[in-house]
């Protein structure tokens, strides 16, 4: 089944404790991105990657890191989480075809609470 998976789905942690949220897709998509969703603010892009070893900042990158060592995986790293990073996080992927626009496929979401 074609899908985007994220782990963990729920995480409660404390300020300053490094964490990684994994994201994996099995559709051979080139483009992957991370969003955070907060009430009243919609979906805001954190980072995106257009292919292996190619990453760039989105609208709200502060406090986050990403890597893209393999095409299928795009982990989100919080080196020193703070309470303002408490949010619902979505990973998404889409095939990249020059000059075309395609549906983004979202993962199931990770609800993160930083105490």
* Segment near another protein (CB under 8 A); pick from 13-21, 39-47, 62-70, 73-81: 39-47
Exposure of 40 by Cβ count < 10 A (0-12 exposed, 13-18 middle, 19+ buried)?
exposed
- The yes or no reply on residue 41 touching another protein (CB under 8 A) is yes
- Least Å from the CB of residue 97 to another protein: 12
CA distances from 70 to 13, 18, 25, 98, 103 (A): 27, 22, 11, 21, 21
| Selected binder of another protein within 19, 43, 52, 77 (CB under 8 A) | 43
| Least distance between another protein and beta carbon 22 (Å) | 16
| DSSP designation for 62 | T
Would you give the binding string for another protein spanning residues 49-88, x where CB under 8 A is met? ---------xx-----------------------------
Q: What is the DSSP letter of 98?
A: T
Half-sphere exposure of 31 (CA within 13 A, CB side): 12
- Pull the structure tokens for residue 112: 């993160």
Residues that bind another protein (CB under 8 A): 35, 40-45, 48, 58-59, 90, 101, 103-104, 106-109
């Amino acid at each position: 089944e074609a899908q985007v998976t994220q782990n963990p789905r729920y995480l409660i942690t404390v300020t300053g404790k490094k964490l990684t949220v994994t994201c994996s897709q099995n559709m051979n998509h080139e483009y992957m991105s991370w969003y955070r969703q907060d009430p009243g603010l919609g979906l805001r892009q954190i980072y995106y990657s257009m292919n292996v070893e190619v990453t760039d900042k989105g609208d709200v990158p502060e406090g986050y890191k990403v890597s893209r060592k393999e095409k299928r995986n795009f982990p989100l790293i919080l080196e020193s989480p703070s309470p303002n990073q408490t949010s619902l996080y979505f990973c998404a992927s889409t095939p990249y075809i020059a000059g075309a626009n395609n549906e983004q496929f979202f993962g199931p979401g990770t609800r993160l609470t930083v105490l």
